[in-house]
Amino acid sequence: MCRIYKQLICLMVLALCSNIKAVKKCCQEKNIIINEVNCWDGSSITALNCDTQILIGPTRDPPMTLEVDSKGNLTIIDVEAGGYRFVDSNRYCLTKDNENGSVLALVCV
């Protein structure tokens, strides 16, 4: 009887996890970005297909809080102004700051 419950729990967890999209990384390997165009190893950022991008995050100016929902969409919260913006999963990628390792979003504008 206990074994059946364990199997049911595993199936429910798998069903929930299948609904969560993987977050797109901007760079391979260490996923550290140098600027809006290049990764730490000199390779180009290929995760986004847009002409203009901007780096956003808690350590940037102005500071922004980043939240990713279960569908992979990004919510950007402006800490100073108190506003927010939603970004579709195909319009951003996540990376790490070269200087301190904090999570940043590279967003198409």
82 lies in some domain: yes
Please indicate, yes or no, if residue 69 is contained in any of the structural domains: yes
Closest CA to 92 of 17, 11, 36: 36
Domain range for residue 45?
A: 21-108
Instruction: Judge whether residue 13 has pLDDT over 80.
Output: no
In the chain, how many domains are there? 1
Q: Give residue 30's pLDDT.
A: 79
Q: What is the mean pLDDT of residues 45-62?
A: 86
Look at residue 22 in the predicted model and tell me its pLDDT: 62
pLDDT (average), residues 45-65: 87
Asked if the structure places residue 48 within a domain, the reply is yes
CA atoms within 13 Å, Cβ hemisphere of 79: 12
Decide if 12 is inside a domain: no
- Mean pLDDT over 78-96 rounds to 90
Is residue 1 a part of any domain in this protein? no
pLDDT of residue 27: 86
Q: Which two tokens stand for residue 20?
A: 């969560």
Domain assignment present for residue 5? The answer is no
